[in-house]
Chains A and B, each alone.
Chain A
Amino acid sequence: MEDNLPLFDNYINQTLTPEEEAEFDKRLKSDKSFREEFRIYLFTLRGIIMEAEGDNMEFAYAVKNLSQEDFEKAIFRNPDIERFTLPSDYFSPLPSVRADYSSAIENDVTGDDDVRFSSVDEVFFKDSNLELNAIPSPVDSNMPVPDSSEEITEHVSIKTSKRRIRERFLWISSIAALFIAGLFTIISVARNGDNKVDDVIAYYNQWATTSPRGGFDDAPDLSSMKGKELNESLNNLRSTYDNPEMSLQDREMAGFSLAIYYVKKHNRKEAKEILNEMIVKFADDDEFTATCREVLKMLD
């Protein structure tokens, strides 16, 4: 079966010679199969055109009837909505920083404000007669049109390069400053969060150690001590904890008090060290080592 598509295309585009067109018309009248094929071809083309027109009208009505807010949402003006990204291989190599004619425009070398545009407003709304058919071409502007690439370079000013470099430096340093500030904020917030957790752990366990319902009736309340008194108490606790001749309960009390003291001082490292030590030292006391493990879990 012959392929009549190219012939059909030429016919509707009126690119056939008069003889060829006459032959085509004759065949349409006499060849039913040929006619049917052409009919379906035309039917399909009409469908393509109608579909395209319908889609265009639909788009236009949708654009016109959307509120400003919904329209901006639809075109991803809302920063919360994920924006499109191209695959990395779409990016062309970074251009070298060189002055060119467009830079001359930015620096208003030509002195013509109409040439520059910083927003669509300047292009579309300045000229109230602007339509699709009347889009000004850059060639229509008052700008001189260079003849060669050398002439383009000649139009450049050194000030343009320096300004660009300064702008880029400002951008980079602003971003770096923001990053550092952000990092410190995060660290500070994290620290604050940790400190609050430490206070809760200490408070809970202080109660556990000093309460009559807890195991350590003689546990000192280090939080109320200062200076020399505090140092003496800490030393006593340390020596009690380290002395193997002291009773198990006294050593456990001393070690635990020390650990909680360090937690209150937000010295998690020391606190964990003592707790881990006690888990090993007092392994036979399941209840006590379980308590130590619980506190360790809270500190992690």
Chain B
Amino acid sequence: MEETYEEIVRKWYLKLQGNFASLMMERYRNSSLQLADVENIYQDVFIAIRENLRNGKVKENTNWESYIIRIGLNLAGKKYRQIKDVDSIDEPSDDSEKISNKAQRISNLISSLPSEEDETDIKSNLEAQLLLGDELSHTPEPCASIIRLTYYADMTDAEISREIPAYSNNGKSVESNAKAVKARRWLCMRDLIYRVKMALFVAGIIDEKPTKQKRNGR
């Protein structure tokens, strides 16, 4: 059943609030920031998004996940943070161009791949795309977030480790968490690719049945 606009907005609101609140409480744990403040800031961010979209100040294809967190941290930072050093989060950055550059490279690569007659052109195959979409929607967390932040938002492992609560507030160093994110990403991607291949094989789109790789890659 198709979602209403209200359901879509609420889904985003609920999807990101836990992560947002965790990040804020962790980032400003030595300030007077309370959960009620976090909730207010979070709602203010959404209201600002609406105004900025309507005024054309921000594009529709913005990476909202990062945008919401960035704006929220910025709003909270003005009020609660002791200014000692500048985080990269504070510096304005334009990731939309970076994202489209990467997307363009992938698109170019997939088009320019050499192929023989008996090889299926899966990129144009609608059924293949539907199967892929289904597998993506069944990707659990934190895999879904790690994969998206890596390949869509083009974030580094260290940046990702600061965004995902499982890694950002476990008391370990950024380096250690970055390594953990990297290791987790390989596992997530292997699992996703395996599932995609299996779905394509079962649908008869590819001929080779995938084999599940063990952790050591064999």
Contact = CB atoms under 8 A, between A and B. Distances in A.
A62 B113 contact: no
A120 to B, nearest CB: 4
Interface string A42-55: 11111111011100
A75 B9 contact: yes
Q: Which of B44, B94, B129 has most chain A Cβ within 10 Å? A: B44
Given A52-B152, A100-B82, A102-B81, A59 B75 contact: no
B110 A46 contact: yes
A220 B16 CA distance: 74
A121 to B, nearest CB: 9
Interface stretch (A1-9, A209-217, A264-272): A1-9
Contacts, number: 242
A63 interface: yes
Interface in B104-148: 105-107, 109-110, 113-116, 119, 122-123, 128-129, 132-133, 136, 147-148
B9 A71 contact: yes
A90 B21 CA distance: 9
B190 A137 contact: no
A21 to B, nearest CB: 12
Interface string A226-264: 000000000000000000000000000000000000000
Contacts of A133: 92-94
Interface stretch (A25-33, A198-206, A278-286): A25-33
A74 B10 contact: yes
A73 B129 CA distance: 35
State which size class the interface on A falls in: 35 or more
Given A40-B197, A75-B43, A139-B83, A45 B151 contact: yes
A36 B208 contact: yes
Contacts of B25: 86, 90-92
Contact of A49 (B47, B52, B106, B128): B106
Contacts of A3: 186, 190, 213, 217
15 contacts: A2-B218, A35-B113, A36-B208, A39-B110, A43-B110, A46-B106, A47-B136, A49-B99, A49-B106, A120-B44, A120-B45, A123-B75, A124-B48, A131-B58, A139-B90
Interface of B: 5-10, 12-14, 17-18, 21-22, 25-26, 29-32, 35, 39, 43-54, 57-64, 67, 70-71, 74-75, 77-83, 86, 90-94, 99, 102-103, 105-107, 109-110, 113-116, 119, 122-123, 128-129, 132-133, 136, 147-148, 151-153, 186, 189-190, 192-193, 196-197, 200, 206, 208, 211, 213, 217-218
Closest 6 CB pairs of A and B: A3-B217, A60-B60, A62-B8, A62-B5, A52-B152, A74-B9
